[in-house]
């Protein structure tokens, strides 16, 4: 069953669950609408899979887990490379689906889809390169470890970068011999279903990759709680991440959590101000601020505050906010009405606890019914202000001035989050000292974030556990088996305690 996109009418038909290599309706035959955030109009009805569909998908994934584990790594890698080629071939359709469903503007969605094969290729390359190690033990023995897959892994995906986040966790899982069950976000299921078509076309055996769309507390919770799911990767809010971790703990599943953030962008007085302003704007406006690593706390040195704010206004005045299918658009809408109302509420909170310096409204000329918010900047923000402490997930930044470096570091680290930070300075010693003192999982110097498959990504503190991407991702999808062989052929030859008689 092929899902079809009518790009002109902005409608999609025939969305179904993908379980055991087949397209199926959910057992309850229910669905829910997904909307175009540019207009608020319904694009498609999405199957509302529930615990019974998760059961079916996990059973299918479990049934082929051993066969997939013992499929040659070279063969697993070849399938991933075939999938990468198909993603490239279908990149434009995937980009249109992603833009329609998530609010990424079209050329950005095209860039993202064009990049996804990098993740598939990178992890395909790892399939036959990671392994265990040999261990020096006393006696005439050979001791070594095997890195083995976990078995069935569950992947709960958020709505901000739907297909990229799906691929960055499923590609290593599949490459290393796990079978996958995916639960996309209810607001953005379409690219996952299209991707499942490509997985099918690439020739992955039935059951190795499954997609169950549905609601978080139904399908998502059932996946996290399923006793046959050996590992769960969750990306999303810290609150839901804690729920998922508790559900997984009941059957002692391995958990990778990539959660929220409130990342600092630090501007030293010697920074190149044009670069710093550009990095700051990218940091809180990229995808309308709906990015886990969004730089929403702008720590600007007092000596350059006025110059920085002047350039910031000039830059924000050029930002084109609008329908993602207009060629000129640089920032699209928020993903949903719920997210729009949440961000608008934070803007009202900000007005009561700080000074609204820029924006705060609906951008002029944006489509009626769409979920658009102006880039918004607050100044005079205190360290206890909610807008400077809570993850807003919209294009809203707090400017905080500083003079003393120790106070700066303390203020940056005064957060439950620890995902990411950006530093602008010409002084490399200062940059590296600052990078070492920040309690975060990633730092960029003189540039805002650029995600890559080879660099590990994840958080300190309540921003998460485990790492996605890079060689470090291997730990999230493998377990270690230790094997020792007695090479003497005699049970009593060992000199260690384990060889002692009962």
- Nearest C-alpha neighbor of 204 from the set 17, 21, 69: 21
Catalytic residue list contains 292: yes
User: Any contact of residue 393 with ligand NDP (CB under 6 A)?
Assistant: yes
Closer residue to ligand NDP (CB): 259 or 271 = 259
User: Any contact of residue 420 with ligand NDP (CB under 6 A)?
Assistant: no
User: What is the number of other CB atoms lying within 10 angstroms of the CB of residue 227?
Assistant: 10
Closer residue to ligand NDP (CB): 82 or 463 = 463
- Give, in order, the Cα–Cα distances in Å from 11 to each of 158, 291, 441: 22, 26, 40
3-state SS, residue 254:
strand
Instruction: Mark the segment that binds ligand NDP (CB under 6 A) among 60-68, 215-223, 312-320, 348-356.
Output: 215-223
Closer residue to ligand NDP (CB): 51 or 445 = 51
Number of residues near ligand NDP (by CB under 6 A): 27
- Give, in order, the Cα–Cα distances in Å from 384 to each of 70, 71, 115: 54, 54, 39
Catalytic option among 170, 180, 285, 292: 292
Closer residue to ligand NDP (CB): 200 or 226 = 226
User: Any contact of residue 211 with ligand NDP (CB under 6 A)?
Assistant: no
User: Any contact of residue 193 with ligand NDP (CB under 6 A)?
Assistant: no
User: Any contact of residue 373 with ligand NDP (CB under 6 A)?
Assistant: no
Closer residue to ligand NDP (CB): 323 or 468 = 468
- Nearest C-alpha neighbor of 142 from the set 478, 488, 481: 488
User: Any contact of residue 244 with ligand NDP (CB under 6 A)?
Assistant: yes
Name the minimum Å distance from CB 281 to ligand NDP. Answer: 20
3-state SS, residue 467:
coil
Interface residue with ligand NDP, options 220, 333, 359, 370 (CB under 6 A): 220
Name the minimum Å distance from CB 248 to ligand NDP. Answer: 10
Name the minimum Å distance from CB 457 to ligand NDP. Answer: 11
User: Any contact of residue 288 with ligand NDP (CB under 6 A)?
Assistant: no
Cβ-based burial of 428 (10 A; exposed 0-12, middle 13-18, buried ≥19)? exposed
Rounded distance, CA 275 to CA 425, Å? 10
Measured torsion, CA atoms of residues 89, 93, 94, 99, in degrees rounded to the nearest 10 = 150
Catalytic residue list contains 285: no
User: Any contact of residue 125 with ligand NDP (CB under 6 A)?
Assistant: no
Rounded distance, CA 225 to CA 344, Å? 34
Closer residue to ligand NDP (CB): 149 or 464 = 464
Catalytic option among 218, 258, 451, 468: 258
Residues sharing a CB contact under 8 Å with residue 175, sequence separation 6 or more, in sequence order: 73, 76, 77, 80, 123, 124, 126, 127
Interface residue with ligand NDP, options 33, 131, 138, 217 (CB under 6 A): 217
Residue nearest ligand NDP (C-beta atom): 216
Interface residue with ligand NDP, options 82, 179, 240, 256 (CB under 6 A): 240
Name the minimum Å distance from CB 195 to ligand NDP. Answer: 15
Interface residue with ligand NDP, options 157, 255, 267, 312 (CB under 6 A): 157
Rounded distance, CA 86 to CA 108, Å? 20
Q: How far is CA 177 from the centre of its chain?
A: 21
Show the site string, 291-330: x = touches ligand NDP by CB under 6 A, - = not: -x--------------------------------------
User: Any contact of residue 185 with ligand NDP (CB under 6 A)?
Assistant: yes
Beta pairing class for 297-301 and 396-402: parallel
Rounded distance, CA 245 to CA 296, Å? 27
Interface residue with ligand NDP, options 117, 207, 231, 260 (CB under 6 A): 260
Q: For the chain, report the end-to-end CA distance as a whole number of angstroms.
A: 63
User: Any contact of residue 12 with ligand NDP (CB under 6 A)?
Assistant: no
Closer residue to ligand NDP (CB): 155 or 200 = 155
Strands (DSSP E) found in 133-221: 134-135, 141-149, 152-156, 179-183, 209-211
Closer residue to ligand NDP (CB): 462 or 478 = 462
E strand or H helix at 13:
strand 11-13
Rounded distance, CA 158 to CA 215, Å? 12
Phi, psi of 52 (to 5 degrees): -70, -35
Contact residues: ligand NDP, CB under 6 A: 156-160, 183, 185-187, 215-217, 220-221, 224, 235-237, 240, 243-244, 259-260, 292, 342, 391, 393
Q: Which residues are catalytic?
A: 258, 292
């Amino acid at each position: 069953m092929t899902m079809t996109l009518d790009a002109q009418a902005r409608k999609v038909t025939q969305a179904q669950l993908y379980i055991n290599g087949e397209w199926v309706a959910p057992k309850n035959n229910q669905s829910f609408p997904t909307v175009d955030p540019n207009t608020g109009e319904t694009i498609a009805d999405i199957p509302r899979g529930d615990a019974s569909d998760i059961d079916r998908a996990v059973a299918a994934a479990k049934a082929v887990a051993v066969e997939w584990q013992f499929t040659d790594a070279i063969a697993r890698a070849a399938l991933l490379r075939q999938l990468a080629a198909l993603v490239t071939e279908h990149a434009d359709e995937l980009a249109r689906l992603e833009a329609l469903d998530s609010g990424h503007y079209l050329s950005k969605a095209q860039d993202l889809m064009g990049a996804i094969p990098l993740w598939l290729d990178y992890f395909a390359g790892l399939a036959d390169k990671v392994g265990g190690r040999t261990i020096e033990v006393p006696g005439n023995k050979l001791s070594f470890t095997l890195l083995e897959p976990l078995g069935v892994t569950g992947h709960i995906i958020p709505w901000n970068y739907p297909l990229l986040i799906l691929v960055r966790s499923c590609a290593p899982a599949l490459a290393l011999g796990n079978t996958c069950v995916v639960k996309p976000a209810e607001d953005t299921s379409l690219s996952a279903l299209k991707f499942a078509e490509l997985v099918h076309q690439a020739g992955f055996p039935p059951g190795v990759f499954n997609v169950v769309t549905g609601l978080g507390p139904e399908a998502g919770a059932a996946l996290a709680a399923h006793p046959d799911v050996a590992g769960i990767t969750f990306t999303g809010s810290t609150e839901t991440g804690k729920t998922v971790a508790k559900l997984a703990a009941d059957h002692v599943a391995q958990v990778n959590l990539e959660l929220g953030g409130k990342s600092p962008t630090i501007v030293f007085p010697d920074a190149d101000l044009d670069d710093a302003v550009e990095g700051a704007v990218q940091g809180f406006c990229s995808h309308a601020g709906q990015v886990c690593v969004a730089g929403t706390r702008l720590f600007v040195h007092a000596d350059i505050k006025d110059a920085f704010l002047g350039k910031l206004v000039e830059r924000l005045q050029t930002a084109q906010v609008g329908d993602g299918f207009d060629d000129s658009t640089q920032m699209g809408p928020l993903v949903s009405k719920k997210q729009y109302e949440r961000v608008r509420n934070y803007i009202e909170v900000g007005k009561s606890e700080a000074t609204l310096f820029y924006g705060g409204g609906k951008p002029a000329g944006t489509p009626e019914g769409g979920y658009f918010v102006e880039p918004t900047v607050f100044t005079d923000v205190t360290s206890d202000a909610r807008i400077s402490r809570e993850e807003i997930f919209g294009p809203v930044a707090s400017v905080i001035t500083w003079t003393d470096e120790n106070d700066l570091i303390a203020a940056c680290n005064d957060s439950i989050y620890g995902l990411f930070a950006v530093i602008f300075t010409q002084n490399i010693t200062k940059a590296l000292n600052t990078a070492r003192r920040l309690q975060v999982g990633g730092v960029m110097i003189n540039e805002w974030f650029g995600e890559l498959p080879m660099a590990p990504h994840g958080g300190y503190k309540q921003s998460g556990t485990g790492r996605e991407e890079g060689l470090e991702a291997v730990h999230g999808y493998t377990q270690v088996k230790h094997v020792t062989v007695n090479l003497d052929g005699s049970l009593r030859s060992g000199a260690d305690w384990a060889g002692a008689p009962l």
